[in-house]
Chains A and B, each alone.
Chain A
């Protein structure tokens, strides 16, 4: 049996009170709940406060470049699809620098779980607007307030036909744990956007601000996360009420289901047959 002790990691470099601590806790609990040992899990992250998370627990880790965690994860999952691959990053990493990769990761529908710690601010660089900052939000790079419309990751993912789209709130640890479990269990690309208070640089979207607004769609009677139009409508809610939970899910074949080479098992376990190459060379003789 895997226990929380297996995931105990090193000292963190986050600010006291940071929402990341709760997300870290939820992550560990989810992995224990799934009885996944650290060596079975590969974390891939980029750069940002969120991207440091995998350094603070046990697991395999490729901590790469800002915004580029999804393609690294894509390659690793192709090489060894037996690994449970979890991608962790922030809103700048995933929705700013790496935006294009997110679009295509959704299309690719590999069996990856992508956690975006969305604090609506740039923390590591100390307080600039992020792609999800609310309009009017005054930051160091938007002294007159943000004029750009915020990116809506939930609506974006649903529009692109993502197969698992969820939103969590860092302070609701058991709820977030459950979302991570479901995301990992989902066969396909799972996006989990996590509302994460930044106690140092975002004094607008605070614990209180979120707590007053979030509600669980799972507890709403008649809400069907498999209804794409209902989900898309739900995704528009922001402001007075903010929905959390599994907003949308659908079934379509994952990348792994469709790649012929995987039929013989993970690529990394497969041998190399030079006789096949000999036949290829023959074809070049006119």
Chain B
């Protein structure tokens, strides 16, 4: 046990301690593959297949993409981090690289640690000789084995898994699942290509190699943030989705559209984001759960309709997948720059809720909650995600549908409508909670009238000062209800920590790992993570800070937007800000380094 503890402490990947077999079996595996190449070379599908193969063999996976806004050329990278324990962030270190071009070697060789192998096609790519380079003729073997050089990528995967002594049958199974949908023949050729790479590596890879033994069959899902949100919408009974494609949220629209026929739901591609949210409001007014998904630029176009949702008290769920701004920014990269935008967006005063899921699990469950809050309080709810969460594939326990509740809010029964009398129903009736019972248009004896103009209880336009005063109060009273629905921040780490590090959204995984690393090295830090950010959970947040001397924020933006919100809502001032805004995700190592600089 002592030895086990020792090795965990120094965090060695199994790859480097393979010779100490006794220990190897019980140490923590933490291994990162990096695949790099041009857009169009198949980096993404290779990475996804590798991630699937590792997940299927029982590993926890965190697979992250780094790609450019182009279809061909450029430089794309897919990292697959695997461990026998849950992994929630990219590591920054690489243990094995598959380079499909010379640029990958030039750029990323420096990230390879512990003499990890760099597998490349030496017949196609020039590279300076090095002991860690291992040439596998991807293309030649692909042609020899399958007659098709495109299969070179699968040769590379076969070689890589041979080097780490993974069970190739698992890869074969995945290839059959992925390509079998197209044609059995294509799947078979891929299997043959993988065999070719595997055999070649077995014969030619002479260095002492580490192993990643399969850990047993796993029932975990391999899923990314957009899929989790889309599934959340489906589980919540969303019947209508409208949107205009925009990275990183396009996947939500595509998933929903792809399932529309099977689920009896409708996806409509709108002419622009203005139309998308207005369509959602129309559908929601008429009685179905409806959602749209976009990024910051698209949301900018939706802002007028957001205000309309507030005024007409129409439930709506809006996914804002943050990417780098301003304007078009880095279209395919990540940032947390829209927190203050979504909290304050819209002309006039109206209540809203903002959720910022930190994991795929939260992306799923908070999406279902977003619909409940939207309908219960008749307000717009914004799900604030980002490119990093949207695109990263992670393993997760299968989402628990028994946890799903569907709360559609208050509706008037037919009898209640009858009792009111013909056309006496008032859509915006004043109530103590501010929430007026709903009726769906089409109901006999009731007319459902609402307006973006200030309106009377029956929904018709008014200029009355008294009505205006009452209606503003009515709408804002609903915020009290929304506030009660907001969950407390998550606390992780020792209660007695000196410093609390505050994160929100996709920074969750990186900060959690950074907190572990810092505490292992003797720091006393705790994390507070906000996934439900608006209305800001003032009391819960302040209460959870108690016992610690100070707090710092960790955010993917340049100004410390959460720090601003915290100060505005609680009066508390962050003692430090760990910020990143270069378009790349925050890593545990980055936080550790920045934290040390902040405290010295």
Contact = CB atoms under 8 A, between A and B. Distances in A.
A65 B401 contact: no
B288 A79 contact: yes
A282 B219 CA distance: 9
Given A76-B283, A82-B442, A100-B272, A267 B239 contact: yes
A254 B566 CA distance: 52
A63 B401 CA distance: 38
A83 B461 contact: no
Interface size class of A (residues with CB under 8 A): 35 or more
B282 A76 contact: yes
A1 interface: no
Given A267-B240, A268-B288, A74 B279 contact: yes
B445 A55 contact: no
Nearest to B228: A284
A226 B401 CA distance: 54
Given A75-B283, A261-B264, A280-B234, A274 B441 contact: no
A168 B174 CA distance: 64
B430 interface: no
Interface in A197-242: none
Nearest to A102: B271
Contacts, number: 210
Contacts of A63: 449-453, 461
Interface string B435-451: 00000111111111111
Contacts of A284: 221-223, 227, 398
Contacts of B53: 286
Contact of A72 (B260, B279, B423, B443): B279
Interface in A36-58: 37-40, 42, 44, 47, 52, 55, 58
A10 B55 contact: no
Interface string A63-106: 11100101111111111101100000000000000001101100
B271 A101 contact: yes
B282 A73 contact: yes
B286 A79 contact: yes
Interface string A248-285: 00000000000111001001101010101110111011
Contact of B305 (A65, A267, A277, A281): A65
B434 interface: no
Interface string B37-66: 000000000000000110110000000000
Nearest to A68: B278
Contacts of B459: 61
A60 B447 contact: yes
Q: Chain A CB within 10 Å — which of B177, B218, B262, B442 has the most?
A: B442
B461 A104 contact: no
A61 B423 contact: no
A161 interface: no
B237 A281 contact: no
> Which 8 A-B pairs rank lowest in CB-CB distance, beginning with the nearest?
A75-B282, A75-B279, A79-B286, A71-B278, A75-B283, A60-B441, A72-B282, A272-B237
15 contacts: A37-B444, A58-B447, A60-B442, A61-B449, A61-B459, A62-B285, A71-B276, A72-B285, A75-B281, A75-B285, A76-B282, A78-B279, A80-B441, A82-B442, A267-B265
Given A37-B444, A64-B308, A261-B265, 19 more contacts: A38-B423, A39-B443, A55-B451, A61-B459, A62-B281, A62-B312, A62-B450, A63-B461, A64-B452, A65-B305, A65-B452, A75-B242, A75-B286, A77-B286, A103-B271, A260-B261, A285-B219, A286-B56, A286-B222
Interface of A: 10, 13, 37-40, 42, 44, 47, 52, 55, 58-65, 68, 70-80, 82-83, 100-101, 103-104, 108, 259-261, 264, 267-268, 270, 272, 274, 276-278, 280-282, 284-286
